[in-house]
Structure formats: C-alpha cells, structure tokens
Amino acid sequence: MAETKESMNETMKAIGEQMAAHMKKEQAGKVHSYRSLNRVAKKGQILFTGSSLMEQFPVVELAASHGLGKTVYNRGIGGTTTEDFLREIDTVLFDLEPSVVFINIGTNDIRKWDDGRDWMESLLANYEKILKQCRERLPQTKVYVMAYYPVNAGVDLSPGAQGMLKVRTNENVRLVNGKVAELAARYGYEYIDVNDGLTDAEGNLKAEYTIEGVHMYAEAYEIVYQNLRKYLE
C-alpha cells in the first residue's frame, strides 16, 4: 500500500512538473508576441496588465463596444506571479509608456510555496517594487491598483482550482486587498474595488459568473468594466 501511495505521489509530481513546463512555454510565447506588438503600439495609451484574470478580461472589445473611443491595450499573461511580472515588466508595462495603467497582479502568489516563504510578505514586497518602478519611470502616469476578485469554493471545482483555493480563500483575498490598498496609497496611487455586483449574499463570487471557482465569464467582466468605467472616461 505504501509503495502504491509513493508511486501515486511521484506520478502527481511528474504531472505537475509537466504542467508547469507547459505553462512556462506558453508564457514565453506570449511575452514574445507582446514584444513584437509593442514595437508598433501607440505610446501614451491605456494599459491593463497582470495575470490570467487580466488576460481574460475582454476590455479592448468592451471598450470598443461601449464607444470609449480610446486605444486600450491588454498585456495580461496567465499564470504569472509578481516575480514573473517584475522579470518581464518592460514588456508588460513600461515599453508602452501608458498614460493610464490598471494593474491586477498577485493572485498567483496567494498559495503555499514549496520554499516555505510567507505568501503575503512576498507578494507585498514584490508589489512595492512594481509601484516604486512606476513612480520612478512613469511619474506622469495615472496608476490604478485593482482589487483582487472574490472566489467561489462551492462550485464544481476543477483539480487546478481546488489547489488554488486552498490558500486563495475569500478571507485571504479580503485581507490582502486591504494591504494592497494601503500600499497603493503610500505611493500616491488609487486602489479601486471593482467587485460590486460580483458576489452573492455570502460574499462568494456568484456561481453563474465563474468557470471553475476562480476565472470568470464575460458577464462578470461586463460588471467589472462598468465599475471602472469612470476611470476610463
């Protein structure tokens, strides 16, 4: 029985390593594409940047559909942490020299780390590095720090979502949102909570808005867009 359990653990570890390698390859491909796009992009426009919850935000299409009349770029990359963001910060932020930038990065940091690091301490330290660079390199840019979205652990979770939500609980999301809001204020930036209308009576992400407890359907992003619309106009 012990050998069987050990074998299963090795199999799961191998699968995890394969998935991680695949994600890194996908991320590298997106970085490559963004670098190419940045060479022809217009400087001084509106930028949305972050991880998968930003990448999947159809903000460019929503802005066009609602007649915003401004150029909007999205440089979100799925699976990225604050460390990944810092490593590629020129590609996903500074190369575009935006006049306005909306940042949502760090949800992938809210997890148990193999090296034993404190996720909150690590996330906030890296986020401060990001905001410090924004202040130094883009002193005239309006920077908006977006709240992390709620989750729903009560839906039919995928295996991946089950792992994510062991630490990324709504309690921890609310806690870190408060810390990020304080950090944004320290650098003179505005923290915006765009979650109004996304949650049920218990404070969970509404089941009908989520794919697997974490990521969201377009209906949810329409609500997010309406909540931040005043910052775009």
| Domain spans of the chain, in order of start | 44-232
pLDDT confidence band for 155 (50 / 70 / 90): confident
H or E element that contains 100: strand 100-104
What is residue 9's predicted lDDT score, i.e. its pLDDT?
A: 53
> How does DSSP classify residue 29?
H
Q: Is 15 helix (H, G, I), strand (E, B) or coil?
A: helix
What is residue 1's predicted lDDT score, i.e. its pLDDT?
A: 47
Check: CATH 3.40.50.300 for 44-232? no
For 50, 142, 150, 226, 232, the CA distances from 68, given in Å and listed in that order, are 22, 18, 27, 12, 8
Per-residue pLDDT of 56-77, as tens digits, reads 999 999 999 999 999 999 999 9
Per-residue pLDDT of 158-211, as tens digits, reads 777 777 789 999 999 999 999 999 999 999 999 999 999 999 999 999 999 999
Burial of 96 (0-12, 13-18, 19+ CB in 10 A): buried
